[in-house]
Amino acid sequence: RKEVEQDPGPFNVPEGATVAFNCTYSNSASQSFFWYRQDCRKEPKLLMSVYSSGNEDGRFTAQLNRASQYISLLIRDSKLSDSATYLCVVKGGGFKTIFGAGTRLFVKA
Amino acid sequence: NAGVTQTPKFQVLKTGQSMTLQCAQDMNHNSMYWYRQDPGMGLRLIYYSASEGTTDKGEVPNGYNVSRLNKREFSLRLESAAPSQTSVYFCASSELANTEAFFGQGTRLTVV
C-alpha cells in the first residue's frame, strides 16, 4: 500500500461545478498536511495547509479526518483556471514528506 | 520576489557525463530539498539539508551528491549520469521541517 494515495482521475467537470478530491495516508503519526497545485510543466505551488478543524480559502475547503486518515479538498464554483493537478502532501516527524501522485482536474466551458 | 531559483532549466547529458544543478533561495529558510518527479509518481526526495552545514539522504539518493554551500544555496551533483536519472528535478525550501515548502521552477534533465 502506498503511504499516500490519491485518485489519479482525471476529473472532467463543467464550469461552475463542485468537485471533491480525497487523499488517504497510512502513517497515523503524520503531523502536517497540505494541498499543492501543479500546472503542466510547472513547479508545485502551495494551495493551502490543512488544519484539524478544517479550513476554507475562498472557493476552496480542506478537511482532515485523523480517525480515518484522509484529507479532502473541495472546490466550489469551478473555474477554467482551476484545471491542474492537485497534490496531497503529508509530513511525518522530521523531514519525512510524502507526496501523492496527484489528481488531474479538467474544467470545461 | 525570486523565492527559489534553479539553474539550468533544461539539460541534455550523455551517459557517464557529470553535472551540477544549482539552487538558491532568498527567503532565509533553514531547510532545503532536492526532489525528482517522474510520470505517474509523486515527488521523491533525493537529499535534504535540515540546516546550513548538514545534509541527509532521502528516499532515492543513489547516484547523487549534494552540497549545502551556505544558508542560501544547495546544489545537486550527478557524478556519472545514467538514463534512469532522466527526470524533472525540483529544489525546494522551507522554514522548518513541518512547514510548507516552496519550489523552484524545475530542471528538465534528459540522459541519453
Question: pLDDT, tens digit, for every residue of B92-112?
Answer: 999 988 889 999 999 999 999
Out of A6-10, A39-43, A105-109, B100-104, pick the least confident: A6-10
Q: What is the pLDDT of residue A39?
A: 96
Chain A hits for B99, CB-CB cut-off 8 Å, are 32
Q: State whether B104 and A95 contact (CB < 8 Å).
A: no
In chain B, what residues touch A102 (CB-CB under 8 Å)? 42
| End-to-end C-alpha distance for chain A, whole angstroms | 37
Q: What residue has cell string 510543466? A: A41
Least Cα separation, residue A109 to chain B (angstroms): 27
Q: Which helix (H) or strand (E) holds A107?
A: strand A103-108
pLDDT over 70 at B1, yes or no: no
For residue B106, the chain A residues in CB contact (below 8 A) are: 42-43
Per-residue pLDDT tens over the stretch A46-57: 999 998 888 999
Residue A81 phi/psi, 5° resolution? -70, -10
Q: What is the spatial distance between Cα A42 and Cα B108, in angstroms, rounded to a whole number?
A: 11
